Structures are given as C-alpha cells and as structure tokens.
Structure 1
Amino acid sequence: MFPPRQRLPEGDAAIRATDSDAALARLSAVHKGYLTDPYITPFVSRPHLQHPRPPLINIGTYVRSEALDELVDGWLALCEAEGTKCQIVSMGAGSDTRFWRLATGHRKDLLAKYIELDFAEITTKKAMAIRKHRELSAILGKPEDVSLANGGTTLHSPVYHLLAADLRKPPAESLAPLLASPTDPLLSPSLPTLLLFECVLVYMSPEASQNVLQWFTDYFTAGSGVLGCIIYEMFGLEDSFGRVMVNNLKARSVTLPGAKPYPNFDTLPNRFLQHGWEIARALTLKDIRREYINPRELERIAQLEMLDEIEELELVLAHYAITWGAKLPANSGQLKARWADWGLRRKEADEQ
C-alpha cells in the first residue's frame, strides 16, 4: 500500500505555513553558525528533529537578518540621539524573535512599545509558546503584569503587545480598534515609530497594502512623531527566474498579488513615495551581500558550508529586496537632515 499523499495547505493556511518555513530557516542558520539567536527554538515545533536547510537558504537568511538588524539598530540609534523613546510595530510578525533580542540588548530602554500583529491562529500559537517558556516570559516583566485576552489570541505586557488582526481588512476595522482607541490609544502618534513588514505585503492585494500604509501615514500626520518603515519581500517576478519562483509557490497554493506593482528595482521606492514620504530607498539582497556585509564576515560564513550554486544564489538574492523609508512631521528641515542618513552603510575589509 502506498502512503497517503501529503495534503498541502490552501488559502490562508498556506500563507500561515510560510511562517513555519521562515522559523525553520532561521533555526537552521543558527545551528550552522550563521546567526546567534537564543530565542528561536521555543517557536519551532520539535526543533531537535528538524533537518538543516540547504546552504543557499542559510546564506539568504543570514543576509536578510544582518541587513534588517542594522536598519533597526540605526533607527534606535537616531531615537537615542534625539533623546526619545520609540515604538516598533511588526505586522505579520509570526515567529519573529526581534523583541526578545532588542529587550536584552544595549538599547532596550528605548522601547516604549513593541507591538506584533498577525492572524489569530499565529498569535494564539505564539502566546502559548511565550507562556510555556520561561526564557521568553521572564523578559516581558512581572507575571502579574502579563495577561492574555480574547480567548488567548492577545497578550499584553508593559512594553510587548501581541495582537490578532487580518491586515487585508479595511484599517478602520483591523488597525484602528487595536491601536488608536480615542480614549486610550496603544500607539502614540507623537513618538518615533518604525513599521516592519517581512514578507507580508507581497501576499496582500496592492489596494490592501496601500490602505495599511495610508492609515499609518494619516495617523502620524495628525501627530508629531517620525514614521519609518522597513519592507522585505520578493519583487521583479516577471522575468524567467521570477516566473519559476511564482510557479513553485503556486504549487503550494501561495500567490503573490502584492508583487505586481513592483516589476523591477526602480519601482520599489514608489511603495512610500506614493504616500508622500520624504525618504525612500531600496537594496536587493544580492547587492547587500556584495557591498554591505563586512568582507571578514563573508569569509567567516564561507567556511561554514560548501556552496557550489553561486549563480543560483545570486539569482535568488536579486529577486528579494529590502525597502525602507520615513515620513517626517511638517516643518522638520533639520530633522530631515538627520534622518536622511538612516540606512545601510557599505563595508570595507578593514572594518571591525
């Protein structure tokens, strides 16, 4: 008798499954020595039974993580220089461990709020993992200051907040009730705030993603805080290699409607410029690996695993990009001069 064919998830379940893929990729990169992350294991099912990912995936995970970490740290450094705390809102956060890494880092006191949003099925699973593992829950604060709500889909602590939301719905339904209560808003429009989207908007319709960014733009225009955003996702999927990527995902019932407005690299800054943001930049992972990772680090990771498919690696990395931008308060010329420097910096071989 043949074993039953494995059924692949469909619809929203297929999108949610991509979070497990990302968590397993990060776990693999940690185990192989590419990255250090003591908080990823609790978010992976049966981590001791998971097989390592191929070198191509490990290297891509490393480049993505290093670049995002540098951008977030640069944002926090600017807030520190301004003498103000900041807020971070991570949408489609899934099993991301960034809060715990920041909350135990040297700039932990800069976090006024760290908010994560995702499907209720994802937030329920994450809340359970946090409550189950002391190394996660202890960082949130005293037990009496940490609470679950809404049937276990929501978790609140003094700084960290985990919320269930479907970002495809109109922001008036999905975001406003959670973040902008008229009496006690969770998100302050007067503090510098950084939005994070890691492979999120590409799964949404262009209209839905535009609505999300426009809602935040309007909310902070009414306040006085700097609004920043980092987006990591696929783009340029209309060439031959991009079509292969699209077809591979379609076989898993995953579609990428959000990639259509960004057929090439030059279109990526439009993500922010169409909403009137003053700062909008982008880099592919291919360029980040070549020019923005310290050569000594590249030498180190080259010793971890043998990689024969250099050409394939560069093709894959050329179809992923990190786009970042900032929306500044009105009449903020001096402020713009400071925040215009926010970004990745080319690395030289003699840098430590």
Structure 2
Amino acid sequence: MFPPRSRVPEGDAAIRATDNDAALARLSAVRKGYLTDPFITPLVPRAHLEPLRPPLINIGTYVRSEALDELVNGWLALSQQEGVKCQIVSLGAGSDTRFWRIATGPNQDTLARYIEIDFPEITTKKAMAIRKSKDLSSLLGKPEDVHLGNGGTALHSPVYSLLAADLRRPPAESLAPLLTAGPEPPLAPHLPTLLIFECVLVYMTPEASGAILQWFTDYFQNNQPSRDGRGVLGSIVYEMFALGDQFGKVMVNNLKARNVTLPGAEPYPTFESLPTRFLQHGWDVARALTLKDIRRDYIDPSELERISQLEMLDEIEELELVLAHYAITWGVKLPPATGELKARWQDWGLMRKRA
C-alpha cells in the first residue's frame, strides 16, 4: 500500500488518484523487467522522473497482469474457435494499455470493438495523451477516422472508443446512451463480449455495481438474434476482498487516510462469496482465485524463477498476506441457443501450471 499523500484529494478525486497509483506501479514493473509494455510510458506524465516501486508492489502488479492477460487471451482464442470477432468493454479503464497490446499482438484481427469507459476527468487526460503519442494514435487507424467527441472527453476510432460516464449512476442513464444508441449500436449483442472491471466495483455501492451487471445481462439476453446467436457474455473482476481480518482492516484504514472507502467489498467477506457476484444474476459459470493462489499454482515455474532474479524480496510473508486479499473473479453467461456454439465457453479460465 502507498503512504498517505501530503495533500490528500477528496471525493471522486481520491478515487481517480488510485488510477495514477496503478499506472505508476505498472511503469515500475515494466522498468524492472517484470512486464513488457511499451505503451504505458506515454500515459504517465513525466514518466522519466517517477521513482521505482518496492518489490512487493512490482510482484503484485506482475501476478495481476499475467492472470488478466491469460484470461483475456483465452477469451480471444474462444472467439476464434467460434469463428466470430469479439468485443471488450473495460469499465473504469483508467490508464490501461490493453487495447494497444492486443492491437500489436497475434489476436488483433479477433477484435471487433474495444470500448473504455471512465470518469470524464480521466478520459479527457487519456484522449489528450493518445493524440500526443504517435505510438498510441497510429494504432487507432487513419487520422481522418479518429476524432474527439463530447468536448474532448471522448475519442472514437473504427475499433477503439474512449467514453466518459459516471458508472455509479443508473445504467439507463450512464451506459445505455453510450452503448445502445443509433441504428448500429456500439455494443452488438450477437458477439461474444467481455467486461473488464479492474479495481472499480469495490469503490461503488453493491446496489450500483449489481445494477451494472444486471443491465448487461438483460441487454444480451433480450437482444439475441433468433438464429445463430453467439452473444456470450463474460466478465473479469479484479479487486480486494475479505477485509474484516486484521490485515484487511489495515488496508481499509490506509485507504481511509486517503479519503478512499470500499463499500463494494462488504458483500464479499470470504473467498467462497466471490462467485455470487455473477451467480446472483443468473450467470452459468463463476470462478475465483486469489493472487496468492495464482502466484503459487498458475504462473509458469520458469517465469517465477525469472522474476525472482530481478530484485531481492525479504517480505515474503507480507507479500502473501497482500496477495491473499486480492482476487480475480470471472464468469460466463451463455446465450439461450447454447447448442449452436462451437467453443467451450464454460471451460474458459486460468490453467494450473503446477500439480
């Protein structure tokens, strides 16, 4: 955890500041050799002046990134098996670089749409950074096909869209106008679609986060074409949980010192409670793993050996305590016409690397 800032932001600014923490942590992990990401530097102002983060943060960032990458790549691979392109919607995306990493990777042709949604203050800064960076803007398409919108809070291109919204508002007001308007809505209900929530739902009330998942569930269920429907809906949630023990209370108090509260963690006091996030909305599959479990059993042993050589880590017990309070939960909602699907979407997930 990061120490309290000398000038602590308040309200939504405190929540937005957590994106800066995540971006700096990723930048540090890249510079130390844990990860490869040439696109994070243009999104961090004065990146060359930022200090490296401690090994505990670098390792946590690495485990989180590796697991999320495997899940997303698995979703893209299943879409290829299905013979269709897919959509990804990243909510509370912040400074994430995933679109550009996919756009320069082997699965680039599998992506029909990539949509990011966040606070307008976040999207405005990101849109400006994208326009200023040749590395980022050149991958969006022809210059004439890329344009800003909504007073600079949005950016549109043939595949990638950056949109502004307050996700705490009712989805009929926040999501529907962005994703379902027009003769050809940005969000096509007949394509496999993956929702990504990285440390965003935990900052919202359970009622608000539940409304978002229910809105997507209803949209895909109620708008499936009568024939050949392949609109599988998937989701990944990464966030802290089980904050009632002594270590969890320390985490909560550290965040409170920065004016950040975690109302979304209350319904998930145990590991066993995590899958209910999706099951309560009628989803077919829901699984979860802590970062501690992922590091131990789901990262290739050769990779663990490689990163162990990057820097010394003395606080193994503290690392495992931190990783045990963060989890990745994923779920799948199959369309009614499951018999027409070619890929085994219900098997989507992380692959164990150790017996």
Same fold by TM (over 0.5)? yes
Aligned to 1:154: 154
**2:180 partner letter:** A
- The answer to whether residue 289 in structure 2 is matched with residue 283 in structure 1 is yes
| Offset from partner CA, 1:191-214 (integer Å, 9 cap, x none) | 000000000000000000000000
| CA distance in 2 between partners of 1:184 and 1:70 (Å) | 31
Instruction: State how far apart, in whole Å, the 1-side matches of 2:347 and 2:278 are.
Output: 17
Q: Which amino acid aligns with 2:305?
A: E
3-state SS, counterpart of residue 177 of structure 1: helix
Q: Report SS of the residue matched to 2:306.
A: helix
Distance, in Å, in 2 between the alignment partners of 1:79 and 1:48 is 38
User: Unaligned stretches of 5+ in structure 1?
Assistant: none
What does residue 212 of structure 1 align with? Answer: 212
Q: In the alignment, residue 277 of structure 1 is paired with which amino acid? A: W
Q: List, as ranges, runs of 4+ consecutive aligned residues in structure 1 with deviation greater than 2 Å.
A: 333-337
Of 252, 255, 258, the residue aligned with 1:252 is 258
Q: What's the offset of the Cα at 1:337?
A: 7.5
Partner of 1:115: 115
Q: Is 2:316 aligned against 1:310?
A: yes
Distance 2:352 2:335 in 1: 29
How high is the sequence identity, in percent, across the aligned residues? 77
Q: Hey, what's the Cα distance between the residues in 1 that align with 2:72 and 2:337? A: 25
- The one-letter code of the counterpart of 2:188 is S
The structure 2 residue matched to 1:229, chosen from 235, 245, 252, is 235
Q: 2:332, 2:19 → 1: CA distance?
A: 27
Q: How many angstroms apart in 1 are the aligned matches of 2:76 and 2:302?
A: 25
Aligned counterpart in structure 1 of residue 353 of structure 2, from 331, 342, 347: 347
Structure 2 gap segments, 5+ residues each:
none
Helix, strand or coil at the partner of 1:155: strand
Partner residue, 2:186 = 186
Q: Secondary structure of 2:35's match?
A: coil
The answer to whether structure 1 residue 330 and structure 2 residue 336 are counterparts is yes
Query: What letter matches 1:266 in structure 2?
Result: E
TM-score computed with the length of structure 2 as normaliser: 0.95
Q: Are residue 10 (structure 1) and residue 10 (structure 2) matched?
A: yes
CA distance in 2, matches of 1:6, 1:278: 46
Distance 2:100 2:306 in 1: 26
State the shift of 1:160 in Å.
0.1
CA distance in 2, matches of 1:335, 1:15: 40
Per-residue deviation at 1:114?
A: 0.2
Letter in structure 1 aligned against 2:43:
F
Tell me the matched-pair count: 345
CA contact (8 A) 2:78 2:343 kept: no
In structure 2, C-alpha distance between the alignment counterparts of 1:274 and 1:329, rounded to whole Å: 17
Cα distance between partner residues in 2 of 1:196 and 1:6: 32
Distance 1:274 1:255, change over 3 A: same
Instruction: Spell out, residue by residue over 1:117-159, the C-alpha distance to the aligned partner (whole angstroms, 9 max, x if none).
Output: 0000000000000000001000000000000011100000000
Could you tell me which residue of structure 1 aligns to residue 145 of structure 2? 145
1:152 & 1:340 partners in 2: Cα distance? 40
Which amino acid in structure 2 is aligned with residue 147 of structure 1? H
Bigger drift between 156-165 and 5-14 goes to: 5-14
The offset of 1:336, in angstroms, is 9.1
